[in-house]
Amino acid sequence: MDAALALERATEHAPHWSRAAYAEMIEAGSATARRRLIVAESAETSTRRIAGFAAGAIARGGSAELESVAVAEGARRGGIGRALCEAVIVWCREEGATEVVLEVRATSAAATALYARLGFVEIARRPRYYRDPEDDAVVMRLAL
């Protein structure tokens, strides 16, 4: 958990959640949603480090959310983000979700392109949703 928190804090635009929120994902989820944290470890055999993680949640009613994806700076552009997203999608499908939704900064062209390659389509925009810096949120959906 410490490594996931450190990576999240080092990722500028990742949602910054509390230790308790991560503990909930690791342990059992909550009464209103099932949550999962999927972690990718570094391929280096000398040290075990987190290369990235993705968080997903499934609410009652079958809608799921890809809540967060973070990849360590030195591990980016190597397919880890895609693999993490795919793992969350597979988990959502196995848990009976009928769709996965996400929000991404409009200026995050690489992330938006990745989500589009995974089959997500833009369904809405939320003007000035993000702060520091201000940015629109692009809401995307993948039907399962």
Active-site pick, 115, 122, 129, 130: 115
pLDDT of residue 49: 80
Which domains does the chain show, CATH number per domain?
A: 2-143 (3.40.630.30)
d(CA 113, CA 75) in angstroms, rounded, equals 18
Does the annotation mark 67 as catalytic?
no
pTM, two decimal places: 0.79
Instruction: Quick: pLDDT tens for 69-101.
Output: 988 887 788 899 999 999 999 999 999 999 999
Question: Which residues of the chain register pLDDT less than 70?
Answer: 1-19, 21-33, 43-48
**Residue 5: what pLDDT?**
66
DSSP-derived 3-state class of residue 33: strand
Residue 78 pLDDT: 86
Of 8, 65, 67, 103, the catalytic one is 103
Concerning whether 103 is annotated as a catalytic residue, the answer is yes
